[in-house]
Structure 1
Amino acid sequence: MITSNLSITLNKVSSLKLKFWRMIRVITDIRLTIILLLVIALFSISGTLIEQEKSLEFYQKTYPHSPALFGFLTWNLILEIGLNHVYSTWWFLFLLVLFSTSLILCTFTRQWSALKAANKWNFYKKPYQLQKLALSSELKIEKIIPIVNILKGKKYKVFQENNTIYARKGIFGKVGPIIVHFGILIILCGSVIGSLTGFLEQRMVPSKSEFKVNSNLNLGPFSTSEISRDWKVRVNRFWIDYNSKGTVDQFYSNLSIINDEGKELKKETIYVNKPLHYNGVTIYQTNWGISSVQIQIDDGNIFQLPMVSLENDDQFKIWGTWIPLKSDLSEGISLIAKDLQGTMIIYDQEGNLYSAIRTGMPLTINGAQLKIHKLIGSTGLQIKADPGVPVVYMGFGLLMLGVIMSYVSHSQVWVLQINKTCLIGGKTNRSQIAFEKELKDIIDSLECLK
Structure 2
Amino acid sequence: MTPPKKNSFLSLFASVQLALFLLFLLASTSIIGTLIPQNNPHTFYIEKYGPKTALFFQLLDIPDMYNSWWFLGLLGLFSLNLIVCSLERIPQVIRTLRRDGLTTPPEQLIKFSLHQEITLPVPLKTAHERVAALLKVQGWHARETEKGTGRFFFAEKGGWTRFGVYVVHCSILIILGGALVGSSAVARKLLHNPQFAFKGSIMLPEGESTNHLVAFKSGEHLELGFHLRCDAFAIEYYPNGMPKTYRSRVTVIEKNKPVQTADIEVNQPLTYKGITFYQSSYQPYQNYQVSLKKQATNTETSAIVTTAKQMDWPEGGVSYGIVNRESQGEVTRRLKIWFTDNQGDPSIFWVNINQEAAIERPSGTYSLNIRQLYATGLQVTKDPGVWLVYGGCLLMLIGLYIAFFLSHRKIYVFVQPEANSSRILFAGEANKNKVGFESKFPELINKLEK
SS at match of 1:387: coil
Q: Cα deviations across residues 373-392 of structure 1 (Å, max 9, x unaligned)?
A: 54211211001100110111
Shift of 1:167: 1.1
The gaps in structure 2 that reach 5 residues or longer are 188-196, 289-304, 313-321, 337-348, 358-367
Q: Cα deviations across residues 216-236 of structure 1 (Å, max 9, x unaligned)?
A: 22489xxx987524x121111
Q: Tell me the residue number matched to 1:300.
A: 310
Aligned pair in 2 of structure 1 residues 299, 121: CA closer, same or farther (>3 Å)? closer
Q: Distance in 1 between matches of 2:350 and 2:430?
A: 77
Q: Percentage identity across aligned positions?
A: 26
Contact kept in structure 1, 2:144 and 2:153, CA below 8 Å: yes
Q: Distance in 2 between matches of 1:201 and 1:113?
A: 48
**Residues 400-409 or 135-144, more deviating:** 135-144
Does residue 35 (structure 1) correspond to residue 35 (structure 2)? The answer is no
Which residue identity lines up with residue 274 of structure 1 in the other structure? Q
Q: Cα deviations across residues 110-163 of structure 1 (Å, max 9, x unaligned)?
A: 245225413532236434521221111122353433222212222223121223
Q: Distance in 1 between matches of 2:118 and 2:239?
A: 79
TM-score (norm 2): 0.74
Q: Distance in 1 between matches of 2:86 and 2:141?
A: 26
Aligned residues: 374
Aligned pair in 2 of structure 1 residues 416, 201: CA closer, same or farther (>3 Å)? same
Q: Tell me the residue number matched to 1:160.
A: 144
Q: Tell me the residue number matched to 1:275.
A: 269
For residues 169-248 of structure 1, what are the structure 2 equivalents within 5 Å? 169-195=157-183, 196-197=186-187, 198-214=197-213, 216-218=214-216, 228-229=224-225, 231-243=226-238, 247-248=242-243
Aligned pair in 2 of structure 1 residues 83, 296: CA closer, same or farther (>3 Å)? closer
SS at match of 2:256: coil
Aligned pair in 2 of structure 1 residues 48, 392: CA closer, same or farther (>3 Å)? same
Q: Tell me the residue number matched to 1:251.
A: 246
Q: Tell me the residue number matched to 1:439.
A: 441
Identify which of 397, 402, 406 aligns with 1:405: 402
Aligned pair in 2 of structure 1 residues 296, 166: CA closer, same or farther (>3 Å)? closer
Which residue identity lines up with residue 34 of structure 2 in the other structure? T
Aligned pair in 2 of structure 1 residues 172, 244: CA closer, same or farther (>3 Å)? farther
The gaps in structure 1 that reach 5 residues or longer are 1-16, 66-72, 303-323, 326-332, 346-354, 362-370
Shift of 1:298: 7.1
For residues 281-360 of structure 1, what are the structure 2 equivalents within 5 Å? 281-294=275-288, 300-301=310-311, 336-338=327-329, 342-343=333-334, 358-359=352-353
SS at match of 1:274: coil
Q: Tell me the residue number matched to 1:78.
A: 57
Q: Distance in 1 between matches of 2:308 and 2:401?
A: 73
Question: Would you tell me which structure has more strand in proportion to its own residues?
Answer: 2
Aligned pair in 2 of structure 1 residues 204, 399: CA closer, same or farther (>3 Å)? same
Q: Tell me the residue number matched to 1:430.
A: 432
Q: Tell me the residue number matched to 2:8.
A: 22
TM-score (norm 1): 0.74
Aligned pair in 2 of structure 1 residues 100, 299: CA closer, same or farther (>3 Å)? closer
Q: Distance in 1 between matches of 2:307 and 2:45?
A: 40
Q: Tell me the residue number matched to 2:292.
A: none
Q: Distance in 2 between matches of 1:225 and 1:379?
A: 18
Which residue identity lines up with residue 387 of structure 1 in the other structure? P
Q: Distance in 2 between matches of 1:419 and 1:299?
A: 112
- Report the RMSD for the aligned CA atoms in angstroms: 3.3
SS at match of 1:249: strand
